[in-house]
Amino acid sequence: MNTAVRRTATVALAGGLLLTASPLAAPAAAAVPIPSISAKGGFLLDQADGKAIYGKANTTRRQMASTTKITTAIVVLTTPGVDLNRKVTVKQAYRDYVVRNGASTADLRTGDKLTVRQLLSAMMLPSGSDAAYALADTFGTGTTTAARTKSFIGKMNAKAKQLGLTNTMYDSFDGISAAGNNYTTPPELAKMARHAFSSAVFREIVKAPSYKAAATTSTGGTRTYTWYNTNKLLGSYSGANGIKTGTGTAAGPCLVFAATRGTKTYVGVALNAPDRFNDAAKLLDFGFGSTTARTMELRSLPAGAQRD
């Protein structure tokens, strides 16, 4: 059931949250009907105060594919004393993982040294699972790669618990889940995204349509990587400034998105959404009281760019 809230009381019901339309809706927004979206689950909230604007299938747990990397990023960024200029050496294991799983990649080359900041862009723009692996291996604790990545996933679950997310679970640092124990609900993923979006570094990373990184090779040379953001909403929807795509067999197409116009920012989620970018535009229009979705033309990705 599609529902909406406009500066009104929320009523808790058994098994979920009832969002009720308010007669006090802003005049501009009142002209925009509650949108119909393709997503099986969706949510929109006000970044400033976290108030719900729209919800669909709020309590149904769904896999989230690479939108998992939002949590990977914010766990890294909220690590005490994190050094974004720390150099990380790419291991062959990271490349092997991508090949083994058919995962999206930043095409990191074995032996190259990249900074943590560069790896965050490599993970969030082309959705590089190799970069996610590198970050989990670097920021986890333990004497083996397996132990460190397991430790890092534990930190992701601790972050969810810290935010009070009771229907969110991670068994993966990038969204590839063999057991299917990597799930969330639309409002909980939106809450995690809101938390991440409060980081200035995170915002800077996810709003970029592309990013170039100069890395040091194993022989001391320089390799320049160019990554393109898989989020086609950027440059297509006025004010769009994030956040992350995701696609998986069980999860379907997913999108966590954000846009800012004036002093207002909305963050939203579309899970298992065949028409995810238009879904996002419709939900943002509902928040802003606009009709941008009707004429939006999606940005094209360059040939050879990752799709996610």
Residue pair 164/50 in contact by the 8 Å Cβ criterion: no
User: 31-40 in b/e burial notation, b at 16+ Cβ within 10 A?
Assistant: ebeebebbbb
d(CA 36, CA 117): 38
Please, which residues have CB within 8 angstroms of residue 38's CB and are 6 or more apart in sequence? Answer: 270, 273, 274, 275, 276, 278, 279
* Marked catalytic residue, from 127, 172, 177, 290: 127
Amino acid letter, 266: Y
Report angle CA 205, 209, 215 to the nearest 5 degrees.
60
Residue pair 279/255 in contact by the 8 Å Cβ criterion: yes
Asked about 161 being catalytic, the answer comes back as no
Please, which residues have CB within 8 angstroms of residue 23's CB and are 6 or more apart in sequence? Answer: none
- Start-end of H helices in 163-305: 186-197, 200-206, 276-288
Burial of 252 (0-12, 13-18, 19+ CB in 10 A): buried
d(CA 107, CA 177): 21
> 63 has which bridge partners?
183
Asked about 218 being catalytic, the answer comes back as no
* Marked catalytic residue, from 66, 104, 121, 172: 66
Asked about 127 being catalytic, the answer comes back as yes
d(CA 292, CA 280): 11
Residue pair 242/257 in contact by the 8 Å Cβ criterion: yes
* Marked catalytic residue, from 69, 159, 191, 282: 69
Residue pair 152/143 in contact by the 8 Å Cβ criterion: no
Active-site residues, by number, are 66, 69, 127
